[in-house]
Amino acid sequence: MIFAASCTEKKPEPKYLVLYYTQTGNTKAVAEEFQARLNADIDAIEATVPYDGDFQATIERSGKEREEGILPEIKPITRNIADYDVIFLGYPIWFGTYAPPVATFLNQTDLSGKKVVPFCTFGSGGLDSSVKDLKAKQPTADIQNGYGVRAARLSRIKDEIDRFLKENGFIEGEFTKLEDFPQQHPATEEEAAIFDAAVNGYPMLNAKAESVSQRTIPGGTEYLFTAVPLPREDNPDAKLPPMGPVKVYVTVLDGQQPEFTQVIR
Ligand SMILES: Cc1cc2nc3c(=O)[nH]c(=O)nc-3n(C[C@H](O)[C@H](O)[C@H](O)COP(=O)(O)O)c2cc1C
């Protein structure tokens, strides 16, 4: 079904601020796409002592800070939050939630009454869990639907952000409204093979598809799998606690390889 988001009355344009933290540039790329599409102001949250080591060094420093209950200091934000109606707040997912410099920002800033649109980048997932944490942290802010994308799928952000902004009424234009996923059924061999192809080689996700449902999306099919972790012996490298069943979204665009879009733990 094609929907057109349009307004007949001319309302004054809201003032948008895109505010983000990035360590390796992925969230910055998403932030800049939102900024360009909304003609927004943009600002970055920066740690006073940057997390500038490699992945392992960052895991170690932030893991230690988490254990000790320490949050990093951040530099002052140059924009004045009070000047804006809508804040697009972007962050990488670290340990299942927004990265610590954003936690520091949220400790220092009261977003009461502001519309806040969360967005994030991640290796496998974390939009839902981080938005839940954000709502708990700022219960009087008006937290809107969020957007999340895997670091491995940044090439898709133009189309996805276009759709996200239309679907959520931030820009006008036609978009196809997606049907809900129907009830899941046990995965067939063919469907399990789609799951395996999508998660192939992703070390954090050593799991087997159990049940699935699917829906049509523009240019292809989207699957929602429920998967169960395989025994740990099969996955000696993963230094992760055992996990319960996970939900895995997989997209198959016509003529292309299956790719997973997010994991919900
Ligand atoms: C310390 C650390 C912890 C991370 N934890 C997670 C995680 O829990 N889940 C996940 O999907 N990705 C995780 N990642 C991957 C990042 O979310 C991903 O690479 C992100 O796109 C980085 O964004 P940036 O380039 O804007 O810094 C982690 C990365 C780091 C450095």
Query: Based on the domain organization, do 249 and 216 belong to the same domain?
Result: yes
Query: Based on the domain organization, do 47 and 161 belong to the same domain?
Result: yes
Q: What is the model's pLDDT at position 10?
A: 67
Query: Based on the domain organization, do 158 and 198 belong to the same domain?
Result: no
State which of 61, 97, 122 you would mutate to test the pocket of ligand 1, scoring each by most atoms of that ligand within 8 A of its C-beta.
122
Query: Based on the domain organization, do 26 and 132 belong to the same domain?
Result: yes
pLDDT at residue 71 tops 80: yes
pLDDT in tens, 83-94: 999 999 999 999
| Residue nearest atom 1 of ligand 1, based on CA coordinates | 59
Nearest to 33 by CA among 45, 16, 49, 50: 16
Q: What is the model's pLDDT at position 24?
A: 97
| Residue nearest atom 30 of ligand 1, based on CA coordinates | 94
Q: What is the model's pLDDT at position 239?
A: 53
Query: Based on the domain organization, do 44 and 167 belong to the same domain?
Result: yes
Instruction: Tell whether ligand 1 has an atom less than 6 A from the beta carbon of residue 104.
Output: no
Query: Based on the domain organization, do 109 and 128 belong to the same domain?
Result: yes
What's the gap in Å between 137 CA and the centre of ligand 1? 20
Q: What is the model's pLDDT at position 27?
A: 98
- 205's CB contacts (< 8 A; 6+ apart) are 124, 199, 227, 246, 248, 260, 263
Instruction: Tell whether ligand 1 has an atom less than 6 A from the beta carbon of residue 240.
Output: no
Query: Based on the domain organization, do 210 and 161 belong to the same domain?
Result: no
Q: What is the model's pLDDT at position 11?
A: 72
Instruction: Tell whether ligand 1 has an atom less than 6 A from the beta carbon of residue 62.
Output: yes
Query: Based on the domain organization, do 161 and 230 belong to the same domain?
Result: no
- 146's CB contacts (< 8 A; 6+ apart) are 117, 118, 119, 120, 127, 130, 131
Range 12-40 average pLDDT: 97
Query: Based on the domain organization, do 218 and 113 belong to the same domain?
Result: no
Ligand 1 atom nearest the C-alpha of 23 is 27
pLDDT at residue 171 tops 80: yes
pLDDT at residue 235 tops 90: no
Query: Based on the domain organization, do 200 and 81 belong to the same domain?
Result: no
Domain CATH code at residue 77: 3.40.50.360
Which of 149, 176, 203 lies at the terminal end of a domain, its last residue?
A: 176
Query: Based on the domain organization, do 204 and 155 belong to the same domain?
Result: no
pLDDT in tens, 100-133: 999 999 999 999 999 999 999 999 999 999 999 9
Which of 176, 201, 225 lies at the terminal end of a domain, its last residue?
A: 176
Query: Based on the domain organization, do 73 and 147 belong to the same domain?
Result: yes
Q: How many domains does the chain have?
A: 2
What is the SS3 assignment for 8? Answer: coil
Which of 176, 194, 228 lies at the terminal end of a domain, its last residue?
A: 176
**Better pLDDT: 65 or 236:** 65
What's the gap in Å between 64 CA and the centre of ligand 1? 16
pLDDT at residue 233 tops 70: no
Domain span at residue 193 reads 185-264
Q: What is the model's pLDDT at position 40?
A: 98
- Judging by beta carbons within 10 Å of its beta carbon (0-12, 13-18, 19+), is residue 180 exposed, middle or buried? exposed
Q: What is the model's pLDDT at position 135?
A: 98
Strand partners of residue 213: 224
Q: What is the mean pLDDT of the chain?
A: 92
